[in-house]
Amino acid sequence: MKSLIHTTIPSINNIKTSSIESHNLQFLPKSRRSPQLTTIKAVLNPASIDQYFGLNESDARNPTLSTTFRRPRHNREPNKTVLEAQARVCTGPTQTKPLTEEQAFKVLDTILRSAKGELKDEEEVSKAQLGAFFAAMTIRANAFPEPTQWSEGERRAMDAYWPHLVRTLPSDIIFLADPEGSIMRLGSSIGPQYVGNGSYEMRLVGALREILAGGHLGYEEVQGVLKEVLPLKLEHDTPDNVSESLLSAFLIGQRMNRETDRELKAYCLAFDDELGTSPVPVADVSSLTHYGEPYDGNTRFFRSTLFVAAVRSCYNEASLLHGVDWMPPKGGITEEQMLKFMGANTNITPLQAKQLLEDEAVGFAYVSQREARPSLYSLIEMREHIKKRPSLATTEKVQQIVRATGKEAIVAGFYHEGYEEPLLMLMRRRGVHSGLVVKGEEGALSMTTKLRSVNASKGLPVNYCSGFRSLNTSPSYDVDGVSRESFSLIVDAKEYGFEPSDTPRTDRSVSKNIELGLAALHGEKGPAYDRIVLNAGLADHLLGCKGAEDVSTAFDRAREAIDSGNALNRLMSYIKISQKVK
């Protein structure tokens, strides 16, 4: 199989050498030539991966777009008509957009025909979709402000279709649509009497009664539900499998009600001990930063965090990245896709990540949610059918899969205003020394050197940062009355000496994102290079890392890590060593 990367990097294809060492030498000045440094072409060429890393070509999966990482077990896509309606109604009290009468009639007709078995395969409305849609309608009727409650058109459509739906839909959906028998004008005793099927659903149904009324749950209640019903089993209709409709209603319902701090903490900490490794692995490193990129990836712009981690490792700032291979709703480029594309082992366990963090040739690691939190990973298919992001989309970014003997920090990206403080709250709960939230491009962590448009959207601008630094040297979870320094700012890259430039577009192309990142680590100056330097240096400075008290010094050492070839060497070492770690 020919590597797909050869069609996307013509400048690199002109290299006419036969060994990794000779590739290295022709791109570096004599003073910086290293026999261990692997070139871009060698890394992305399956033959070279096989020869030098001991991998089979079939192990180095080379899709070109992020969408190809959608897992094979996702056999059925959501019904598009209902999914479009979910995008409008399965959201917050101010963001919800009521359906028009025409839209509502179309959606309810689709649901009725699906329930009658008249729609097949991808046209069928899934249980998770039914749960999310009817839970959203109920919460809107019970708890939302008047502008986002049911429209007159929605009410007319429901009056027309409910007499048919109540005779056709299963009892769990009827419960979600009218839990107290008070919403629909044609009353039903099913909702008020519903308790679920078996003991495994009783707690979930009890929690849903509170959620559907617009209420909130306690910390123990949320954790009790999650631990009882997860991991979600793929085999349907087994005696101990929870209703997908009820679980999807639970997940989106809490997000629609805007989670309390205690609910977010419950989601964040629920599966810390899932692997049974107590205590959590502790890496013997002086500093460790946990990077919480949005799990659903980037669809438009260059994603820099993987390359930033390689840079920071050069001066003993270890980084732990975590994420997934593919995640809805965006289904964009992720760190796991890039590492998989380049031939790295993406099945690293937390214990193996500890080894990579401690390895002097590497100093950073990536752990998939599949390995660290399999219960949460089991929800990916359901999350595609829910459409909108559940509470987990916030809390999964604030994880400590490996701890450190030295100082720890967490960095997380966000997009929607109002979630910056909850994220920082979770970081403080984790007991780290420093925390940082960044509104980068696409809600990811990558800050940009692009000038802000005069037509920029309302709310917090791109490059907004907020965080805290602990003034104590001991871990904050061991210290009473920790003194923290809080900060917030809008980063203007031009003030730090960066020339304004448009952000490189990748448009879901994994290979393009890798090409940009590796070329930058190879010393090629330009927008990608500047973004890696900007994000590495500013993270060091804002988190209070040693040697980065002066921001100009922080940028200089990031540039030195790249220009010396050290950062590229670190990334190449990761690809090689990750395949050999035991």
Give the per-residue pLDDT at 240: 62
Count Cα atoms within 13 angstroms, Cβ side, for 414. Answer: 26
Residue 39 in this model has a pLDDT that exceeds 60: no
Q: What is the DSSP string of 100-169?
A: PHHHHHHHHHHHHHHHTT-S-GGGSPPHHHHHHHHHHHHHHHHHS-GGGS--HHHHHHHHHHHHHHTTTS
Q: What is the pLDDT of residue 43?
A: 56
> Could you tell me which residue, 44 or 169, shows the higher pLDDT?
169
Alpha carbon 90 to its chain's center: 19
Which pLDDT value is given to residue 72? Answer: 56
pLDDT at 198: 82
**What pLDDT is attached to residue 65?**
83
Q: Quick check: 78 pLDDT over 80?
A: yes
Does 496 have pLDDT greater than 70?
A: yes
For 61-75, 171-185, 276-290, 404-418, which range has the lowest pLDDT when averaged over its residues? 61-75
How much is the pLDDT for 457? Answer: 64
* Residue 131 confidence class, pLDDT cut points 50, 70, 90: very high
User: Angle between the 527-542 and 305-313 helix axes, to the nearest 10 degrees?
Assistant: 60
In the sheet where 464-470 sits, what is the strand order? 364-368, 318-323, 287-292, 407-413, 434-439, 464-470, 484-490
Q: What is the pLDDT of residues 354-368, one digit of tens each?
A: 999 999 999 999 999
- Average pLDDT (212-229) is 96
The pLDDT score that the predictor gives to residue 68 is 80
Averaged over 545-567, what is the pLDDT? 98
pLDDT at 12: 31
Poorest-confidence range of 28-42, 208-222, 333-347?
Answer: 28-42
Q: Which helix (H) or strand (E) holds 534?
A: helix 527-542
Percent of the chain whose predicted confidence (pLDDT) is above 70? 84
Higher pLDDT: 64 or 305? It is 305
Would you give the DSSP letter of residue 373?
A: -
For residues 499 and 514, give the distance between their C-alpha atoms in angstroms, rounded to a whole number: 23
Record the tokens describing residue 130, joined without a space: 């039914």
For 102-130, write each residue's pLDDT tens digit.
999 999 999 999 999 999 876 899 999 99
| Backbone torsion region of residue 577, taken as left when φ is above 0, otherwise alpha when ψ lies between -120 and 50, otherwise beta | alpha
The secondary element (H helix, E strand) that includes residue 404 is strand 403-404
Q: Compute the mean pLDDT over every residue in the chain, rounded to the nearest whole number.
A: 87
What confidence category does residue 452 fall into, taking pLDDT thresholds of 50, 70 and 90?
confident
Distance CA 270, CA 275 (A): 12
Q: What is the pLDDT of residue 42?
A: 55
Paired sense of beta strands 364-368 and 464-470, if any: unpaired
Between 427 and 479, the more confident residue is: 427
Per-residue pLDDT at 456: 67
In 10 A of CB 237, how many CB atoms? 5
Across the range 51-77, mean pLDDT stands at 58
Position 399 scores a pLDDT of 97
Per-residue pLDDT, averaged over 79-99, amounts to: 97
Residues paired with 505 in a beta bridge: 301
Question: Could you give the angle at which helices 335-342 and 566-578 cross, rounded to 10 degrees?
Answer: 80
Q: What is the pLDDT of residue 44?
A: 55
Q: Is the pLDDT of residue 38 over 50?
A: no
In this prediction, residue 70 carries a pLDDT of 80
Average pLDDT of 308-337? 97
* Residue 407 predicted with pLDDT over 50: yes
Backbone torsion region of residue 198, taken as left when φ is above 0, otherwise alpha when ψ lies between -120 and 50, otherwise beta: left
Given a cut of 90, whether residue 186 has pLDDT beyond it is no
Q: How many other CB atoms are found less than 10 A from the CB of residue 284? A: 10
Q: In 10 A of CB 406, how many CB atoms? A: 17
Q: Is the pLDDT of residue 40 over 60?
A: no
Averaged pLDDT for residues 531-555? 97
Does position 31 have pLDDT exceeding 90, yes or no?
no
Q: What is the largest CA-CA distance in the chain?
A: 83
pLDDT over 60 at 575, yes or no: yes
- As a whole number, mean pLDDT of residues 13-35 equals 34
Cβ–Cβ under 8 Å, residues 375 and 267 = no
Q: Give the burial string for 245-255 (b: 16+ CB within 10 Å, else e).
A: bbbbbbbbbbb
Mean pLDDT of 385-392: 96
* Distance of alpha carbon 223 from alpha carbon 144, whole angstroms: 26
